[in-house]
Each structure stands twice: as structure tokens, then as C-alpha cells.
A and B are shown apart, each in its own frame.
Chain A
Amino acid sequence: MNSKTAIPNVMERTIGGGVHGPGERKMRIRVVGVGGAGLNAVDHLAANPPGGVSFMAVNTDTQSLGASMIAEKLQIGKQLTRGLGAGGDPDLGRRAALEDEQELRDALEGCDVVFLAAGLGGGTGTGAGPVVAKVAREEGALVLAFVTLPFSHEGEYRGRVANDGLAEMKQSADAVVCIPNDKLLVLASEETSVLDAFKPADEYLGQSVRRIWGMLSQGGLINIDFADLRSVLRRQSGETLIGFGEADGPDRIQQVVDRTLKGPLLSGDDLLGRATSMLVAVTHGPDFTMKQLQKLLEEIRQRMGPKVACKQGIVVSGDFVDRLSLMVIASTGTPLLDKSPESAAPADAPAQPEKSAPAPRKATDEKPVATRSGGRVGGREKAEAKVKGAETSPAKQGLFDLDSSASGIFAKGEHTVVNGQDLDVPTFIRRGLVIRSL
């Protein structure tokens, strides 16, 4: 019954192998390394790149840029630093980035998602990183920054610099995943070389990019799309955690949750309890039952705070018989709604979120929205509206997607409420079943 050949594999990519955005257009994902540490991390990923992702190296230091294997390089602050680096001065790093703002803008134009890697504590990563993030956001991208904090033995000054940089990064990027280098020490043995010590962090960035890209590109039973990711990540001064794990065998539910939420880089963090939104992506086999899925989600929920709004994606794959793969992305902070260039348009300001129904979407429905960087595929506009609907709802329903009450056939008009239940919200959601909505 559960033989691998009998069950079609839904992990197959869509035609062309691309990741598709809200308007079903090919999605552009770019990984940008800023500063020396950022470059190293991105180099690591570029050595074994996931298809459909482009890379870019940004630094003040000519030498470090030359050593990078990434083809697209942007040297910033040529006049200011003369290619010698920012010398640990974040202000210099920041001004270097501003000097070449237009180049950055051109390089990031049209990106849907930008993963930004930077080490905090030095000059370029700390100072230029937030500028790059800000420019990418202004160009319309969803910006997810991966930053490291210096080892405590690097001294108090670096620590302070890094913390200021982190605060600034939280303002500029949509989401910030923060890895204190001290956590890497825990993983390292006596023999681990300094370079190898960073491997887990580089690996973590690589896995995160790969898995997020994979999640967006797969047509699952319940898809996670760009708008979902965006609604979970787009926060005001929030922190983000990304955990993933796999497990097999009869005890796989418990194990996969432990592996995902107790990874060495995540441990000792109370972020889960403070999370305001999360995204859960599950890949399971056709042998996995609805009850098991509920149990899995319940396990996750138990480790989260009460206020979390959840989006779920489910992929059923014949390759996952007796096996389970999980990714959890959780963010703290308050939802950030209206800062993207599109939605800041005046017409959008006081209006109610337009609740988009999953009615037939014709290509002509997608009106292009003009931004100052030129035309943009308008699916974005709808996605934003949907996100608003989701995020402004009170987090009453716990694990389940709040979005669904705001969409569907009965989105508009008077709702039918019987015994305190809004019957226009799908029953399976109100009864606590797993499947989430569009």
C-alpha cells in the first residue's frame, strides 16, 4: 500500500523548476553576504547552491571580495575606504554603503526575498548590513537577515557595537535570525579549528535558505506561499527563529519536534514563548494520519506562547513513509503592516483590508503597481491585503490560521453565527483540525 512507487511524489517542482510568487510569476530570491563573515557564510552556501537562488557579495574590503567565489560582487565605499575595509568602524561601514546606495538599489531591484548574512561586531557587517537590508526592503523585497554576535571573549566593545547593529538591523530587515557565536563554542571540541567552528552557523544559514526556498517552490497539500512567509516574518523589531529537523520510526513525532525546537543554536532561548507568529511546514508520508498530524501540531503548540498565530504548510510525499520532516519559523515582535512601498500608497491607507476570496484569479486581475523602481507584478498587492487580514485578527484561534475567517466565499457580508460559532469560518478550523487556509 505504501510502496514508494505507488504514491506520486508531490515534491516535484512546478514546470520550469522555479519558485512562484503570488502572481504565479517566477520568484526572485537573492542571498547577499555583507562584510567578511557574511561573505564566508554565503561562500559556503554558494559552493553547493540551491537552484533558482542568486548570490551577491558586498564588502568594503577588496581583498576579501577577491577571495570570494561569488561572481556578483559589489565593492562599497571605494572613495571612503579605498578598498581597505571599514576597520571595525560601523559608521564607516554605514557611510560606505550609502556612498554606493544606487548600486545596491540596482542590484536588489525586483527581488522578492533577500537573505542577508552578516557578522555583527565589525565595521562593514554592522554598519553596512542594515543599509543593505533597508535598500532591499525599499525595493520591495522581504528581507531576512542572518546575523552572528561576537564571542564574549572578543570583548565588551565589540559586544556593544554588535548589539547596536542588531537593534538597527531589526529596524531595517523584516526578520532577523540571530546566532550568538558563543553557542558555536558549545558545539566545538578542543580540536575544532577556528574556521571549522563557524561551520555550524554557515550550515544553518545554508539549510535555512534551502528549506525556505524548497517550501516556497513545492506544491504541498497545503501550500505555504510567499504571502504566508511574509506575514509571519514581517515584524517590527522582532527576532526570528528557524528550526528544522527530521525523524523516522514510531517515535518520530516527539523526536522531530525535539530536533527542530531544541537545536544547539536555538537552545536556551525563550523566543518560542514570546513568539507572536509562526509558520510550521511539515512533510510527511501518506501513511501519516490526521490524528498524528494533530498530535504533532499539538506538541509544537505546547512549546509556544499562547499568543502565537500560526500558518501551516503540509506536503505529503511518498518518500516520507515512516519519516517526518519539520521546519518551524517563529517570530516575536509586533506585526508590521504598512511599511512596504506598495502599501504605503495613499489609496491603501485608511481602507479596510480587502479580503481576497479564492475565486478564479485571472491574469488580468493583477494590476501592476507602480513603484519608483518601475513596474511590479501586482500579486504583491493582494498578498499584502491578505496579510493584513491575518495579522489584525485577534489571536483567538491559537494554532490555526486566522486568515481563513477573512477570506473565502463568505468573507463579505453578515456572518452566520450560531451558538457563538461563526459558521462562515470552515468547520475543520473551528474543530481544531490541521489544515490551514489560503
Chain B
Amino acid sequence: MFSRFFSKRPALIVGLDIGTSLVKLAVGERRPDGCLTLLGAHHVESRGLRRGEVMDHNQASSCVFQAIRETEELLNMEIGKVEVALTGGHIESANHRGTVPIRSATGQISPDDVEDAVEAARGGVSISEGRVVFHVIRQQYYVDGKDGVANPVGLVGRRLEADTHMVHGVGTRLQNTLQCLHSQDGSLVDVGSHVFSGLASSLAVLGRHEKEMGVILLDIGAGTTEYVAYSKGMIRQMGVLPVAGDHLLNDILLGLKIQSRRLGEALIHEHGCVWPEPSGNPEIKGKTVSVKTSELLPDRERVIPLEYIHAILYHRMDETLRIVRERLHAQGSLNMVASGVVLTGGVSRLPGIVELTQSVFGMPAVVGIPQGFDGIMERAAQPEMATVLGLLKYAALRGAGEKRESNGFWDQFKKIV
């Protein structure tokens, strides 16, 4: 699968989001002016994943390769390298500051000083055995205690500090996702960068202004809810709660005794709503819907009051949002947010979710639509496409020289795992 195509068009970027419900691919091209043109997007249903993580390598990998092959056919191209999104409940992140003295006699800061400061920050992270740091995001620098320095190289001082945001997770579990690019039959696609899903989503939908004001991104997919909080243009906090759309489905299946996932999904898509306080909602009071509950008896329908459907979904969503809110609050991120909450992921399509988020967080909420692409087809301007499109942005930023990470994480993986 090695690509002639790529050698001719080095600016092509392929994003791969191996989601719990859908494997999504997007192909973009970085233009000389730095803008991104979206050339195509594709998705297939995924199998072998739960809570954002690979449980069955063969199933997941075959879905990934199916998505890759179909995209190759659709766009008449070959894919040799992909940017991959990573998620899972084990992923954690934290801010760390590294301090170094400036070594040069003149006091002028060199790129090496910057690397040393970042390295010092990194050295300050104590993570348990088996975990690996897979993002070291450089946020800002301090020269002699003065903050707000974006690029300290060339400045003069005696002490350099680097604020970094580190993201880490269990190496083997991250590896399981990347391993999907090695198929059983020996096919292999290279991994360009691997990016925390939440970070990718935030890149796709958040504007500079929002990040400055302070904003929370929630990507609620099928298996996981990723949260990212920005303030003053920088990441404050990121994390994953492995509760999302599949839990909505689970509760519906169990609560309403529905025999099949497919029917449960259909019910949620058709009648689902998480409007706050469903039991007090006069609009649904006394209303019922007739739904199929068993694939075995397709003629058998059951009449269910809407109130029950809404209540089951509302309680799950309310709880999920509250847990995330609590986590953000515990780290002081909530107070730093002036802009509001931006929702992405498939569950952000659920009616009432914006209202519920507003009521739980006590701030405005909107559904985030990926933006900043040329040639974007309507189909791609959807909240669940945030992660995969964010991957393109991430790779484009790195490629454009704004590379803010030291290299070789992939190699580091290989060493550690």
C-alpha cells in the first residue's frame, strides 16, 4: 500500500478516527497558504471496540482496512500513512512546568534551552509503570518569571520556564488502537501522528476567540465522552469518561426490555430526547409511541409512554454531564470558562442535549460544527466528524512547522510497549 500518490502530493493528510460506533476517515490537502482543503470523507461501522478501545483486534482491524480500502477506491488514491485518534478511560492529562537556567554567556535563549525546559517539565511527571506520555503540548514560556511568552528563542534572560500539558495513558491499551493498522494479512499502513481524540475534536470546532475566553469541549460519542477545557488560549484540562451513547442504549435496552441493539438505536434516534425534567414536561405527558422490541417477532410492537424513554435517557445524560462537570470543577477549570460548552460527537444530535448541558453547566452550550476547511462537503460538517477532521488540522499544524512536540513518540511507544 505504498504510495506513489503521496510522493507526488506530499501535502495530503489522512485522518483516521477508530470510533466505537464508526470508523471515520477524512482526506485533506494542505494548501501553500496554510488552509486545508477537504477532499473526501468516509466511514464504516466499527466492530470489536468498546468504550473507545479495541477489544478484538481482528474485527477492529478489518473494519479499519475496509474503511481505508473503500476510501482509496472512492478517491482513487492510495493511502500509506494515517493520523490516528486515541482515546480511552485510562487517558489522563496534567499541566507541568519545567525550569532551566540559561546556559549561554550572553543569556540569549537558544532552541536547546527551550528543549531543556520542556524536558525538565517532562521529567517532573511521575506516572505509574506502564503508562506513557503521548502528548507534550507546549503552552507558554516564562522568561525570568514573566509570563505570556509564546516563543522565547532569541530573548535574553537568566531563567526559562516552560508550561506544558502532558497527556498520558496505558501504553498497551494505546498500542491496541495503533495496532489496527497492522492487519492479519500483513498489510500495513504507517501512523503519522497519534492524537488524543478530544484534542483533535477541539481543533476542529473551537475558534481562537473561544479558547481565549475559556471554553469546554465535550465530544460525546458511542463509547466515550472526551472533555477539554481551554482558558486564555491554552489547554487547562483534558480527560475521558468512558460513558456515552452506548450507555444510553444500554439503559434503554434494559429498561424497556428491547431485544436488539439495532432496534434500541433506532428508538433513540427516532424518539430520543434528554430535555431536562421529563416528568414535568406537559408536552409528552400521556403520549406513547409504538416500537418494535424484538427482531424475532417483527410484527410485535409495544406501546411505550414517551415519558419513560425521555426519563431513561435524561437520567443517564444528566449523570454523565454532572460527572464531567464535577471533574472540571475539581481542577478549577470551570471558573475559567466565559464562553460556554461546545458539544461534538454523535450524541450531540440528541434533542434536548444543548438545553440539558446548559442547565447542568449553568452556561451557554452549542453544537460544534467543524470549520476552517475549504471544499468541505455538507456531509462532513457534522458534529461527529470533529475528531477525524481535527486530525487533519493537527497534522497540518505540525507539518507547517508549528511542530510543538519532540519527535519519536511512535518510537517511544515501541520501546516501552
Contacts and interface: CB of A to CB of B under 8 A. Distances in A.
Given A407-B254, A427-B315, A286 B279 contact: no
Contact of A221 (B253, B256, B295, B316): B256
Contact of A428 (B253, B299, B311): B311
Contacts of B302: 10, 219-221
A409 B250 contact: yes
A361 B259 contact: yes
Interface string A330-372: 0000000000000000000000000000111111000000000
B210 to A, nearest CB: 28
A418 to B, nearest CB: 6
Interface in A267-311: 286-287, 289-291
B243 A221 contact: no
A14 B297 contact: yes
A360 B312 contact: no
A407 B297 CA distance: 21
Nearest to A437: B254
Interface string B276-315: 0011000001111010011111011011110110011001
A151 B28 CA distance: 88
A361 B256 contact: no
A369 B262 CA distance: 28
Given A24-B294, A286-B288, A423-B243, A316 B254 contact: no
Nearest to B282: A1
B258 interface: yes
A222 interface: yes
B182 interface: no
Interface string B252-271: 01111111111000000000
Contacts of A14: 297, 300
A428 B50 contact: no
B251 interface: yes
B286 A15 contact: no
Nearest to A286: B286
A8 interface: yes
B295 A222 contact: no
Nearest to B307: A290
Interface residues of B, number: 49
Contact of A410 (B250, B259, B297): B250
B261 A359 contact: yes
A435 B312 CA distance: 9
A431 interface: yes
Contacts of A63: none
B319 interface: yes
A361 B258 contact: no
Interface string A1-29: 11000011010001100000000100000
A8 B308 contact: no
Contacts of B251: 426-428
A438 interface: yes
B305 A428 contact: no
Contacts of B55: 413
A435 B300 CA distance: 21
B247 interface: yes
A428 B253 CA distance: 12
B157 interface: no
A74 interface: no
A424 interface: yes
B288 A426 contact: no
A433 interface: yes
Nearest to B252: A426
A12 B392 CA distance: 55
Contacts of B285: 1, 289
A234 B315 CA distance: 33
A75 B257 CA distance: 44
Contact of A24 (B296, B305, B312): B296
Contacts of B89: 416
Interface in A382-409: 404, 407-409
Contact of B316 (A222, A428, A438): A428
A316 B296 CA distance: 23
A35 B84 CA distance: 75
A74 to B, nearest CB: 35
Scoring A219, A363, A419 by chain B CB atoms within 10 A of each residue's CB, the highest score goes to A219
B242 interface: yes
Scoring B241, B262, B302 by chain A CB atoms within 10 A of each residue's CB, the highest score goes to B302
B83 interface: no
A290 B306 CA distance: 11
B20 to A, nearest CB: 11
A397 to B, nearest CB: 13
A408 B250 contact: yes
Contacts of A433: 311-312, 315
Contacts of A359: 260-261
B303 A221 contact: yes
Contacts of B304: 221, 316
A379 to B, nearest CB: 11
B256 A360 contact: no
A291 B308 CA distance: 11
A121 to B, nearest CB: 43
B261 A437 contact: no
A116 to B, nearest CB: 29
B249 interface: yes
B340 to A, nearest CB: 24
B295 A360 contact: yes
Given A2-B286, A291-B279, A435-B312, A222 B297 contact: no
A223 interface: yes
A7 B319 CA distance: 32
Interface in B232-255: 241-243, 246-247, 249-251, 253-255
A361 B311 contact: no
Contacts of A291: 279
A417 to B, nearest CB: 11
A428 B312 CA distance: 6
B226 to A, nearest CB: 15
Contacts of A361: 259-260, 294-296
Interface string B43-81: 000000011000100000000000000000000000000
A14 B319 CA distance: 37
B253 A408 contact: yes
A438 B252 CA distance: 10
Given A409-B250, A416-B242, A433-B315, A363 B260 contact: no
B230 to A, nearest CB: 24
Scoring B51, B308, B318 by chain A CB atoms within 10 A of each residue's CB, the highest score goes to B308
B305 A316 contact: yes
A404 B254 contact: yes
Scoring B251, B259, B319 by chain A CB atoms within 10 A of each residue's CB, the highest score goes to B251
Contacts of A24: 294, 296-297
Contacts of A431: 315, 319
8 contacts: A15-B300, A220-B302, A221-B256, A286-B287, A359-B260, A360-B261, A416-B243, A424-B250
Given A221-B303, A363-B296, A418-B323, 5 more contacts: A290-B308, A358-B258, A360-B261, A360-B295, A426-B254
Interface of A: 1-2, 7-8, 10, 14-15, 24, 219-223, 286-287, 289-291, 316, 358-363, 404, 407-410, 413, 416, 418-419, 423-424, 426-429, 431, 433, 435-438
Closest 3 CB pairs of A and B: A437-B254, A426-B251, A360-B260
